[in-house]
Amino acid sequence: MSEQRNTPDFSAASVLVIGDVMLDRNWQGDTQRISPEAPVPVVNISRQEARAGGAANVAMNLAALGAKVALCGLVGDDEAGGQLRAIIRQQGITDLMKNCPADTITKLRVLSRHQQLMRLDFEAKDYARYAELLAAPFEKAVDEADVVVFSDYGKGALADVSRLIAKAKQAGKLVLLDPKGSDYARYRGADIITPNRSELALATGNADEAHLLANTRRLLDDCGIQAVLLTLSEKGMRYVAAQTEHYLAAQAREVYDVTGAGDTVIATLAAALAIKTPLPQALEYANAAAGVVVGKLGTSTLSPEELRAALEPPRARSHGVVDKESLKRLIARARTRGQKIVMTNGCFDILHAGHVTYLAEAKALGDRLIVAVNTDESVRRLKGESRPANNLHSRAAVLAALQSVDWVVVFEEDTPAQLIEELMPDILVKGGDNRVEDIPGAQAVLAKGGEVKIMSYVDGFSTTKTLSKYQKEQ
């Protein structure tokens, strides 16, 4: 009942990632006072987590999409390096990282209430001295890859990037590269580079929007690069090649954190191109992926299900009649944004003011409202052969048109208990004089830590009375 776009099976993709790997550590806690020692907040740390960062985050994004991934990078023979190796191996990524005498690059972020208060960086300045250690594992793995991704964070692992790109091109591989610094001539031979606006301005010497296209094409020509995919944060993306240009509008509704978004863009693009996806469609995938991860906190990945949901038409993502499997994906996407899911159900045979008020009040309890509707057959079993007065298509369409209703889903059983258990809303709502213990699905929701609310219908409205009055008048 909903329009849906399929995403490909990325398991056929094989990608080699090489670049600056790092460990991202997030310490989170509540802040309620200022330190008596200095004018700084006191954070009571309650949660610590570690994630793969830099080139390792690119690899994690590829693995999350289902691609086969190998990762080259430099790590120290230290606790952080061991933790980073454990993280990537757990995701099935082939570990081609090499130990070096320098410490593993580590970024420690202190956060409170989803706000970053401070970042502490632990890194040496001499990683370039050890870049030659990556040549052997790279040359051994490049033949097995469909696409090679270079992730340059300017830390030194890609000091020999020109030679490595030449090796990849000699092997006939497509090369994608996330650049750093102002010298793009060292990236000669790359097929697509993915700078953001400030990075491109540094390389071209000019951030003027009016001259962006001309400056970008001049850069490509001067540096021997085939194309640029310019990421523009909340303004979307712009693909520029010698003879073509394509703009993609941003899809994110709320931007919480752009950390690692560029990693997700290049990973999704690489996975798509590795399985021969046409370039326009691959760009669309990358843009949709960016719209998902900027709604998450810190370096993040996305699943194929989240990408599929992001590719659905805007109305299907936010409002309308959906099937159960599509709804599961939409719920998962909503929850990644911290949204609370409310659900109710009924026949809704003749929609009246009582229903409208009830649904508006239900929606006010959370962020997304699901209305589960009985099929015509189940209505007849419950209400008699003369019902429903309006068929399923009409009832669902009218409900979906209400501003308070996000998604309408159909169930065939006499009760929605099974559907509720599968969708597991945060709040289950029912109207009238029901008791919680008698509401189908209520116990399952409560067992998962959810809530069950009983709300009163507006007096003076009844579908049965309305139909009875109409029949008498006839």
197 among the known binding-site residues?
A: yes
Angle between helices 261-274 and 279-293 (to 10 degrees): 150
Which entry of 20, 146, 263, 406 is annotated as an active-site residue? 263
196 among the known binding-site residues?
A: yes
Can you tell me the distance from the alpha carbon of 388 to that of 347, in angstroms, rounded to the nearest whole number? 8
Q: From residue 459, how far is each of 97, 435, 471 by CA, in Å?
A: 69, 19, 21
Is 406 one of the annotated active-site residues of the chain?
A: no
112 among the known binding-site residues?
A: no
Point out the residues that are catalytic: 263
Binding residues for ATP, by number, are 196-199
